Amino acid sequence: MNLTQVELKEFLEEKYYQYNCVDFIHSDPVSIPHQFDKKEDIEIAGFLTATIAWGQRVTIINNANKLMKLMNNNPHDFILNAKAKDLNRLDGFVHRTFNKVDVVFFIKSLQNIYLKHGGLQKVFTPIQSADLNNQCLRSITNFRKKIFSIPHPLRATKHISNPSKNSSSKRLCMYLRWMVRKDKHGVDFGLWKNIEFDSSHLMCPLDVHSGNVARKLGLLTRTQNDWKAVTELTENLKLISPSDPVKYDFALFGLGVFEGF
């Protein structure tokens, strides 16, 4: 698809407005954190939902709702106060390869994060650096160190991708978009302020659908969906919208999933 830079921006803007709206929420995993009002509930529900956000979207939403119910629909309180008997209720929870062993570890690690490290926003705050181009990578890297700072089953590490090893880290990029990005349309929360980076430092979530669309639009040449591709795509989106490149995630996702572009 050969478009001039002006035509490409107009096209992406049109699709951004089409899909970045409250009507989009109910059919997307972001609907789970939207069930809550308290900051800590939103960020915990968002993180756990993003962690299992692979596979069919209906299944993701159903299983995330099931997990919230097992936590009494009060995730922050459950995280802070969960004892061994409370964790027993998680027996049988499974989402694809994510099972009770994984969810129990994440509950315990989140408890450690909220009781000893100031909460999710704090541990996602990147180590200060003059190089602002890699703030998102440093944010995820800092978080990975904290979440695996307690004894953990080896299998749990596969559920938290590592951009330092060239993973696209799609789910964590999506989660950071939910938490950091803010606009008037009401899909993303913009809860995390003063986190040492803003929307201009976010990286575009990249999966098969958005990657294929990006290549057709000339926004991505790299064939693998890895961190190098994420960087290339985001840099090209910054040429169109320097302050908010990942807003076009809505356009790429919508075109790929809903329109089969």
What pLDDT is stored for residue 53 in this prediction? 96
Residue 134 has pLDDT above 90, yes or no: no
Q: Which residue, among 21, 13, 79, 68, has the nearest Cα to 45 in the 3D structure?
A: 68
What pLDDT is stored for residue 130 in this prediction? 62
Torsion over CA of 173, 176, 181 and 185, rounded to 10 degrees? 80
Residue 133 has pLDDT above 90, yes or no: no
Residue 230 has pLDDT above 90, yes or no: yes
Residue 105 has pLDDT above 70, yes or no: yes
The backbone torsions φ and ψ at residue 98, rounded to the nearest 5 degrees and listed phi first, read -95, 115
Domain span at 134: 5-257
What pLDDT is stored for residue 92 in this prediction? 85
What pLDDT is stored for residue 209 in this prediction? 94
What pLDDT is stored for residue 127 in this prediction? 76
- Digit-coded pLDDT (tens) for 62-84: 999 999 999 999 999 999 999 98
What pLDDT is stored for residue 68 in this prediction? 97
Instruction: Name the least confident of 132-141, 156-165, 172-181, 217-226.
Output: 132-141
Task: Give the SS3 label for residue 51.
Answer: helix
Q: Which residue, among 172, 179, 177, 110, has the nearest Cα to 137 in the 3D structure?
A: 172
Task: Give the SS3 label for residue 95.
Answer: strand
pLDDT confidence bin for 51, thresholds 50/70/90: very high
pLDDT confidence bin for 195, thresholds 50/70/90: confident
pLDDT > 90: percent of the chain:
89
Q: Which residue, among 170, 231, 229, has the nearest Cα to 29 in the 3D structure?
A: 170
Place of tokens 């926004």: 219
Residue 31 has pLDDT above 80, yes or no: yes
pLDDT > 70: percent of the chain:
98
**Residue 104: half-sphere exposure toward Cβ, Cα within 13 Å:** 18
pLDDT confidence bin for 197, thresholds 50/70/90: confident
What pLDDT is stored for residue 179 in this prediction? 97
Residue 2 has pLDDT above 90, yes or no: no
Place of tokens 């609907």: 31
What is the number of structural domains in the chain? 1
What pLDDT is stored for residue 194 in this prediction? 74
pLDDT confidence bin for 132, thresholds 50/70/90: low
What pLDDT is stored for residue 129 in this prediction? 66
